[in-house]
Amino acid sequence: MFDFLTQKFFQVFKSLGSKGKLSEKDIDEALRQIRLALLEADVNFRVVKDFLSKVRERALGVNVLDSLTPVQQIVKIVNEELTNILGGAPSHLVASRRPPSIIMLVGLQGCGKTTTAAKIALHLKNSGQRPLLVAADIRRPAAIEQLLLLGRQLGIPVHADNSQAAVPAICKQALRSAEQIGANWVVIDTQGRLHIDDVMMLELVQLKAELQPSEVLLVVDAMSGQDALNIAEEFNRRLGLTGLVLTKMDGDARGGAALSIKFITGLPIKFIGTGERADAIEIFHPDRLASRILGMGDVLTLIEKAEKLLAGEQLRQAEKKLRAAKFDLEDLLWQLRQLKKMGTIAQIAELLPGFSNISSKVLRGDEEDQMRRFEAIILSMTPEERRNPDIINGSRRRRIAQGSGTTPRDVNQLLNQYYQARKLTMMAAKGKMPYGTLGIPK
């Protein structure tokens, strides 16, 4: 979503870096370019004005102008002020004093409430909680069936009622069910509605009054631009929201709503949706997103993603193989599949310092195709060839290429990558390089 801004910031900082010592005129020109970039990215003008005012005030200080590294100082200032615009510190879910805690999801039709409800429930489940999903959207065709399907797929109980009962009655019955099954969180998927529809908004007000939820979260499509700000302000005025969930953060919009909405509404962003998969949701960390936008990466999120995948027995087996200096093509195939679970190449590159200024359009092309080719090539090999790639000669290469729909050149490319990875593995096993290089702790 922030490719455009990342490129613009990269160009501005690169231009400043070529000047050496900076003058007030240099800083003003850089801020002018940043201002144009933010406005073009659909960031609210009030946000832009406040942001640039604070950056300029700090950038013109003695510590920057007389510094031996003025550009680094300015990057630090921009990063800190961007973090403040986004909310400063992360905001976590607030539990009620008496379980179960209730999360009420509200928003427009089509903003992704149902899938977001399932994602939040899965997040709670993975955090050691016991969630219950509630299908309270009784008007949208197939809404109940959709939530029931998601619940079955994720192993999360769903309370649904097809008896045409009123929504408050359904929710109260769901709370009784939660007590019976020992659920300590109840996630309610409400019907989508327009913020200008007085009758339907009144329904939400009454539902909130009856349920007394600890969280009322507005689900907002991050690609909806400035409309998202008006929607959030009106929902908050009528309902008294506790936070926001931004969906479709992996889209190709320019991100103005995501950068503006906390500043304009004063509401914390609790989660961001980063893809279609059920686990593609993240607790919102303002400092991490600011770092991504500035091309500085987000190593902490990358580590968290890896830790979720490399857990338990899989991690022990990988470490055992590393210490024994055994690394074959089956291990490489396993690594490729783990990488795919973490997201696309473009999404992973966004988290790596220095890589996020590369256009995601470039990364989504050849790299994704290459990973698919590599997987097809390995699957076309015999078990013996995967465990002992050194036996793969010219005739075997041709057979493997034909079986995988690739060329002998593609097979050679894969083998070259494998030999490089094996060399690193052997070096790590002999203590010639840190284990962290391969993402496996000592």
Predicted local distance difference test score (pLDDT) of residue 300: 58
CB 271 within 8 A of CB 245: yes
Predicted local distance difference test score (pLDDT) of residue 184: 93
Predicted local distance difference test score (pLDDT) of residue 131: 95
Q: Which of 94-98, 322-326, 340-344 has the highest mean pLDDT?
A: 94-98
pLDDT class of 427 with cuts at 50, 70, 90:
low
Separation of alpha carbons 121 and 12, rounded Å = 41
Reported pTM: 0.71
Handedness of CA 34, 40, 42, 44 (dihedral sign): positive
Q: Has residue 215 got a pLDDT over 80?
A: yes
Q: For 338-356, what is the mean pLDDT? A: 58
pLDDT class of 398 with cuts at 50, 70, 90:
very high
Per-residue pLDDT reduced to its tens digit, 22-51: 888 888 999 999 999 999 888 889 999 999
Per-residue pLDDT reduced to its tens digit, 149-179: 999 999 999 998 877 788 899 999 999 999 9
Domains of the chain listed by start with CATH number: 3-86 (1.20.120.140), 101-286 (3.40.50.300), 302-438 (1.10.260.30)
Number of Cβ within a 10 Å radius of residue 339: 15
Q: Is 226 or 316 the better-scoring residue by pLDDT?
A: 226
Q: Has residue 357 got a pLDDT over 80?
A: no
Q: Has residue 339 got a pLDDT over 70?
A: no
Per-residue pLDDT reduced to its tens digit, 250-298: 776 667 888 889 999 999 999 999 888 888 898 998 888 888 788 765 5
Q: Has residue 207 got a pLDDT over 80?
A: yes
CB 330 within 8 A of CB 388: no
- In this structure, the dihedral spanned by the alpha carbons of residues 119, 122, 123 and 129, taken in order and rounded to 10 degrees, is 140
Predicted local distance difference test score (pLDDT) of residue 440: 33
Backbone φ and ψ for 325, nearest 5 degrees, come out as: 60, 35
Separation of alpha carbons 89 and 68, rounded Å = 30
Identity (one letter) of the amino acid at 144? Answer: I
Per-residue pLDDT reduced to its tens digit, 179-200: 999 999 999 998 877 767 778 8
SS3 call for 161? coil
Q: What percent of the chain has pLDDT over 70?
A: 78
- Going by their DSSP bridges, the two strands 185-190 and 131-136 should be labelled as parallel
